[in-house]
Copies of this chain bind each other. A is one copy, B any other.
Amino acid sequence: MPKERFIVIGAVAAGMSAASRARRLKPDMEIIGFEKTGAISWAACGMPYLIADKVKSADNLVHYDVKFFKERRNIDVLLYHEVKKIFPPQKTVLVGNIKTGEEKEYTYDKLLIATGARPLVPPIKGIELKGVFTLRALQEGISIKEYIKTNSPRNGLIIGAGYIGMEMAEAFAAMGIKVTMVEKMPNVLGTMDDEITQVVEEELKRNDVTLIKSSGVTEFQGNGSISRVLTDNGLTIDADIALIGAGIRPNSEIAKDVGIELGKTGAIKVNERMETNIPDIYAAGDCAEAYHLILGRNVYMPLGTTANKQGRVAGENASGGNASFGGIVGTAVFKTFDLEVGRTGITEKEAKAEGIDYVSNIIQDESRAFYYPDRQEIKVKLVANKKTGMLLGAQMAGHEGIAKRVDVFATAITDKMTARQIGQLDLGYAPPFSPVYDPILIAADELQKKLNV
């Protein structure tokens, strides 16, 4: 009797988490990962730091290589192998070897789609010029790093003022490149509220980044390689390197093609076991949706942590276990230059869009005791349900002490704590770490004053 086989499509965060988890639970299972690129199990979030030369080599971003998975975990990973089609009735996948052109069918007992996402590339004239990049595959990160090294660009253009744009602005600046950001929307950072994006814009300005909002790039110009861009509001901007950070789209077509249901977001619909609507086929990571505990529905919010967790759940269930993905509360943090920014739950804009009866408040405080050196300003914006007092969201920005405070709010939101309860939390205090009333407590107390519950 042949061994049970678990096939994983895509061998990065979700895929290799699933494979490793399945191996731990089922030592006998055959596990194969197909990866269409040459890189597996690597840290995508590290690319801005690779480009900024804080991380010297792309190898430093790789957790484990093919050899490790084969020898230590008995997992086969085939590089440059692309799964072209799934045949659910036959429980097979058609796999193409990108290097040889050879195709082969593999049977599966359990299948995980962890195909990730791809950058959204607007159809801009001149996009084929050298020096115009997207940033998704490891090879793209390596290419940008090499391009900077070889060409020493002086003016960098970034399309899109989201997380990646913000991290790449810092990276370009670290390499001596003067940065211009062009954002189609009237505000940076998507749904984040204005009081917080204001702080981010100040940080960009302080670091000599030119931000052009409500504007799109219409053309890249140059002789072989990019030298300037044109915008839809008539600007001509010098740029000898450009990064398109205009968002990503889930690689969900392979699923859709065989009748696997997608959500409204275009990503693969999954239940809490990471199962799709077709038996024995799971999906996880940047190609899949995630259940949002505050919104009460699936959303598309592709992040590395979620990919890892979802992959693990899928791997556990694919190997006979019974795991559930706990859902997300929309937590995200990033750093741009010296500023830390974070959010969890929903913003005021989102609460409004959802038609929720909410109250919100913003406070400014400091990261350390009022007499302790090097304290930094911290802004905290909270949103709560007006009827129940339950915290719905928190946003923070400041030059230190943001990321883990956001996690306190994420924990409180997950457990449906009210502003009143949060204001009473017994948080740690020592002068180097916070004021005697942590900004978390102040923010909750001040919000509570607007509540009648």
Which residue numbers of A lie inside 8 Å of B, CB to CB? 13, 43, 45-46, 49, 54-55, 60-61, 63, 167, 293, 303-306, 308-309, 325-335, 340, 342, 344, 369-373, 401, 403-408, 410-412, 414-415, 417, 421-422, 424-434, 436-438, 440
**Minimal beta-carbon separation of A437 from chain B (angstroms):** 6
**Minimal beta-carbon separation of A370 from chain B (angstroms):** 7
Contact yes or no, A331 B431, CB < 8 A: no
A61, B430: Cα distance in complex, Å: 14
A410 cross-chain contacts in B, Cβ below 8 A: 425-428
Find A372's partner among B46, B331, B370 (CB 8 Å cutoff).
B46
Closest 7 A-B residue pairs measured CB to CB? A326-B424, A404-B404, A333-B428, A403-B433, A415-B415, A305-B429, A328-B426
**Minimal beta-carbon separation of A39 from chain B (angstroms):** 14
A-B contact pairs, 14 of them (CB 8 A): A45-B436, A46-B369, A55-B373, A60-B371, A61-B371, A305-B436, A308-B437, A331-B428, A332-B428, A344-B428, A403-B432, A407-B428, A408-B411, A411-B422
Contact yes or no, B401 A327, CB < 8 A: no
**Minimal beta-carbon separation of A127 from chain B (angstroms):** 28
A426 cross-chain contacts in B, Cβ below 8 A: 293, 305-306, 326-331, 344, 410, 414
Most interface-central of A293, A411, A429 (chain B CB within 10 A): A411
Find A305's partner among B327, B401, B427 (CB 8 Å cutoff).
B427
A328 cross-chain contacts in B, Cβ below 8 A: 426
A316, B55: Cα distance in complex, Å: 54
A332 cross-chain contacts in B, Cβ below 8 A: 428
Contact yes or no, B372 A430, CB < 8 A: no
A440, B407: Cα distance in complex, Å: 10
